[in-house]
Structure 1
């Protein structure tokens, strides 16, 4: 029977149910989006006044008789909240609310998947964007940018609420216009209108790609030179690993899946020696490189002849010789050399680009004199095919052509004598001689000279000779002859002397980049100055020449100057000067040369910091190692380096520690200027784990027990009983135990052992929950629990606690009565939470049992009567029997109804 208070509660609950239906009259004031780890407040309120209390847990004792309750919480991954409102003592109604917890990524990085180095034009590559430790994944969008242009977006369907690592991919097929293009990826968390505005984003460092747009094919020879009709082979290899195959033909069926293919020609009989090697990247976009083979053929014949002339040649006239080279290739590599005896007198090259054999002609003009009588001329065809061609170059020679030279008659005014040599070139202090020869009868011939004159003689040849010529101002000696009248021919004499020394110097020793300076070459005691050439060299390169017009015959000192505009690349360059005395055909061959010692020039220039990229030194190194290691700072004189961090000077030689990462300003300075830039420095060091020996953690809580330090960010691995397990992704109730945590980066690894004690709310277990027994029977209710910490347990019946215990409790009902029927609640509670389990007991009425027994007995009696009646009926159906009184000890057969 309902009491009045309970009736009122029932009516109130009924009215609320009619008013709100299935909804609980509770409302929340709570942010829908919260950052992980942030504090936030939540309010639970009701507009119903007739209630027993509001509570954050299903516990009537914790309910507050108020219209609003609140609590402050920390944003955790499983942020689900329930608010309870009580209208009676045992059955509250509740509302649940979930909060979206978000976390911006720890880092976003971009890389090329399975590729390093330059990319090949037209090949497909995959870029990878790694987003680390972000939540919720379902709200994440990865935006891909090329430069400032958005080129792709990736969304995710992962419904994980806790932080995860996500990866997005982008396929690209770069061409040459993409060389040095920069790609980046951006992680954006789109959390709706209730989330932060604008949406939080984290962007990767840009990835700059280099595109190689030459076809990535190489040959084993830079050039092949082969004789016509000979064999040769060449190999073609791929310079990349991203390809399908190679072929010598533009035909997919001939593609070979290999890194190198060979081409062999047994007999080269085509003059167009071009071979193309194709590399296939897909079915439609092969590229190729063409390999050219130089095919040569030596001449069939080389012959020499005179043009439009036969017979002897006459002194003083011009004649033309012709060299015919028949059937030679390639003409562009042909040189025809002309020899007089063994002396090279001329050579001819050709510009004809024909690759097949041609015939070529070279001509030589000559002016023979008497000394050329019986001289032999020949021509030689030489094929200069470069370093790859045959060495020495193949040569074909003509047969020699011998010429006959006859003197013509001396005309009036001519002097019938010949000097040999026609000009005398002699080194100072050396001997000199010249012959004078007459071609006609005469009345006397002689030499007139200030030194070594020869008296008149009837001979046809006389010689002027001086054993040691030391007269710089010698007048040219002349040979004279008495023929009809006296005539004479002078002998020019050149006396030379090589320099005593050649030296080079800088007019101004200190040179600064961009200014003009003068180098000086001093040539001491040289003659004749008019024959002197000063050659200037920078390294091995001829950069200038100086000639002189001084007609002084005796030795003089000569100075040559060279103007230079040095740049920093010239620092340490070596200059030298070389003198050369060009004394003509009669002079020494090759011309005498004297060279100075090299002059190394210092070029001073302001400092330049060539590399201002982020730097990651290892812990213990110093800032001094930055320019020394990377050669990133240049200048002359060598710059002094200074550093600033947070606008304060830094000792560059001090060892760097893990706390020294940040933005640094480097300044390089010398006498000519300074340069500075800001460098992002990240000090790298091996991992460190700072852990307690043991931790207590609530079930399902994402928990990182140790402080992890290290750069680059260490990769963590968690092991239990030697097996690697998922890293701290919410502990289960049975995950307590001994763990080993490993932190690893490129500088090393570290291990720590720790004990994790997982605390969890009670769990109740029972083998039987529903009991139906008769009165006076004994009932034992058993309830087991687990939980950490160990839970406190008790039995509740009719809102009264009737028994307490821990882990395992029983409740005995020795004799069940009608008052024993009802719901018994087993309750377990610890610091983490509470759980209840209801046991139902029902009592049966004994009177019902007696009636049942009586009914059963009645049925058995009725069944027995029916059985007896059945047997009686059966006996009657088998015959009739009479019983007659017999005499003592006498038996009479019964009659069977007959007589």
Structure 2
């Protein structure tokens, strides 16, 4: 019967519930003991700061005091990783560091304690945090000039900043229209040398695709320490870095088209392109170059000027070309000749009519 009870579902449900209740009881008992141990002392402890954020190398003074001397023997002091101190006959004791540089204080709580004869020790916690502004923040590119289409790396080097676990590297991009884009990299996304609670040298990289939109863009990187008591998290910023991207020209005018020109008129073909470095130009017709200029001028178009003309814009990054087909238009000449002939015929006919009328009139009068 006991064996069947041992294997029953009800038994194991009851067992799990009992273990759970016991666990909660133990946890609550520990919290209660800790609370009465640290905060419900018969002689209250007062500290000058419950928590304190200290800049690397700055002096620190933390005072712990009691209102009156206990009637029995006692010790009042500071329990700390560095510079522990205590007194047996004063109502206050000060923990001092003339210039705090020991990173061991980070992540370790300090205690002001009061130990009385035949009584439990009373403690008061103080959370002390150390941080450090970087010695320098520098941004650099693997190349001073980028080529369109390449994947480029920007590097941000931060010297001696801490604690690493609270560090964020911030990238700021400002384009030609002054629009800002901000990207942040938190701890773990960049390489470092040293422990997470200490000051370290950090190198963060940002991959950027070199495009013509990046030409003239400005980048900066900054070190941010996100600590609750630090009102201004930005602790160091690099100088701005201006980006130059070389890209081949793109012709903006003229377009591939056919242009009709009246024989004898002036023809002006203007070619312009956008590229970096600034493009150079030449105009040509099949088999020859006409001019090393962006403008082609023919002062009086003749029939032999009819045909295809190519503008080429080029720089170190590449080239672009456009073709213009020029057609000499004779319609206006034909119309003009016809008009002149027509006017001539009208004048001749009118003159003949006047002559005939004059002749007939004079013939009648003589008769």
- In 2, the alpha carbon distance for the partners of 1:414 and 1:501 equals 43
1:545 to 184, 189, 206: 184
Contact 1:640–1:670 under 8 Å retained in 2: yes
The answer for unaligned runs of 5 or more in structure 1 is 1-407, 628-632, 684-700, 705-726, 736-757, 771-780, 783-838, 840-899
Q: Which residue of 2 aligns with 1:573?
A: 217
- In 2, the alpha carbon distance for the partners of 1:500 and 1:681 equals 67
Q: Which residue of 2 aligns with 1:428?
A: 56
Question: Larger C-alpha radius of gyration, 1 or 2?
Answer: 1
CA 1:478/1:733 → structure 2, altered by over 3 Å: closer, same or farther? same
Aligned 1:69-468 pairs, distance under 5 A: 412-415=36-39, 416=41, 417=45, 419-436=47-64, 442=70, 443-449=74-80, 450-451=82-83, 453-459=85-91, 462-468=93-99
- In 1, the alpha carbon distance for the partners of 2:93 and 2:327 equals 94
1:677 to 322, 326, 332: 322
Deviation of 1:441 (Å): 7.6
Contact 1:424–1:432 under 8 Å retained in 2: no
1:638 to 248, 257, 278: 278
Per-residue CA deviation, residues 728-770 of structure 1 (Å, 9 max, x unaligned), is 58643699xxxxxxxxxxxxxxxxxxxxxx7888424355767
The answer for unaligned runs of 5 or more in structure 2 is 1-31, 189-193, 329-337
- In 2, the alpha carbon distance for the partners of 1:762 and 1:448 equals 139
Aligned 1:57-76 pairs, distance under 5 A: none
- In 2, the alpha carbon distance for the partners of 1:671 and 1:648 equals 22
Per-residue CA deviation, residues 253-279 of structure 1 (Å, 9 max, x unaligned), is xxxxxxxxxxxxxxxxxxxxxxxxxxx
Deviation of 1:581 (Å): 1.5
Deviation of 1:621 (Å): 9.8
Aligned 1:757-796 pairs, distance under 5 A: 762-763=355-356, 764-767=358-361, 782=366
- In 2, the alpha carbon distance for the partners of 1:598 and 1:482 equals 57
Contact 2:309–2:323 under 8 Å retained in 1: yes
CA 1:464/1:672 → structure 2, altered by over 3 Å: closer, same or farther? same
- In 2, the alpha carbon distance for the partners of 1:551 and 1:499 equals 16
Query: Bigger relative contact order, structure 1 or 2, given CA contacts below 8 A and separation 6+?
Result: 2
Q: Which residue of 2 aligns with 1:530?
A: 165
Per-residue CA deviation, residues 182-238 of structure 1 (Å, 9 max, x unaligned), is xxxxxxxxxxxxxxxxxxxxxxxxxxxxxxxxxxxxxxxxxxxxxxxxxxxxxxxxx
Secondary structure, aligned partner of 2:165: helix
Higher helix share: 2
- In 2, the alpha carbon distance for the partners of 1:502 and 1:641 equals 44
- In 1, the alpha carbon distance for the partners of 2:276 and 2:214 equals 11
Q: Which residue of 1 aligns with 2:232?
A: 590
Secondary structure, aligned partner of 1:530: helix
Contact 1:535–1:542 under 8 Å retained in 2: no
Q: Matched residue pairs, number?
A: 296
- In 1, the alpha carbon distance for the partners of 2:33 and 2:137 equals 52
CA 1:530/1:571 → structure 2, altered by over 3 Å: closer, same or farther? same
Contact 1:702–1:731 under 8 Å retained in 2: no
Per-residue CA deviation, residues 452-494 of structure 1 (Å, 9 max, x unaligned), is 73534552x5443434323344576431111512244453432
CA 1:621/1:509 → structure 2, altered by over 3 Å: closer, same or farther? farther
Deviation of 1:513 (Å): 2.8
Q: Which residue of 1 aligns with 2:288?
A: 648
Deviation of 1:498 (Å): 1.0
Say if 2:313 is the partner of 1:668: yes
CA 1:566/1:680 → structure 2, altered by over 3 Å: closer, same or farther? same
Say if 2:138 is the partner of 1:503: yes
Instruction: Give me the CA root mean square deviation.
Output: 4.1
Q: Which residue of 2 aligns with 1:51?
A: none
